[in-house]
Amino acid sequence: MVDGISDRAAFAGFHRDAPRASSGPLTIVLNPSFKVDSAQVAFAIPRRVGPAVVRNRLRRQVKAVFDELTKGPALNSGAYLVIVRAEARGSDYAQLRSWIVRAIEKLNNRTIEPQSIGRSDENENSI
């Protein structure tokens, strides 16, 4: 489960020079100097995204994606800031997940394997 960020040192590391990556209407900023054992996430969802109901729904969906990603090797431990722009309003879980995975891939500079539930490995029998 993803924890929230409450340490002021973590927030201080989200400066202009911090590593960041965008995908769609989301930007994810990593605080590389804040060392923790798990992923911690903070959110920046301005009022122009929509009323509180819309912002809270987006926050819950983004948190759920991070919770899912922490169950596998996809997400490194660290402090993340997720900045959501107004274009994210009305997005479904699958689209948010896609944007988050792409942004994290850019941050990690590596590929996150897509979920392959029910798929067989096509290269298994090739020599």
pLDDT at 88: 94
Domain assignment present for residue 121? The answer is: no
Identify whether 89 is part of a domain. Answer: yes
Residue 115, domain member (yes or no): no
Q: Does residue 113 form part of some domain? A: no
What is residue 121's predicted lDDT score, i.e. its pLDDT? 44
Q: At 74, is the pLDDT very low, low, confident or very high (cuts 50, 70, 90)? A: low
Question: Which residues, in sequence order, are bridge partners of residue 4?
Answer: 41
pTM listed for this prediction: 0.77
Mean pLDDT over the full length of the chain: 80
Look at the alpha carbons of 105, 56, 70, 9 in this order and tell me if their dihedral is positive or negative: positive
What CATH number corresponds to the domain at position 46? 3.30.230.10
Do the domain assignments include residue 68? yes
**Is 17 part of any domain?**
yes
pLDDT of the residue at 92: 93
Q: Is residue 76 part of a domain?
A: yes
Q: What is the pLDDT of residue 8?
A: 75
Number of structural domains (the chain) is 1
Residue 59 domain flag: yes
In whole angstroms, give the CA distance from residue 53 to residue 78. Answer: 28
Residues spanned by the domain of 31: 3-108
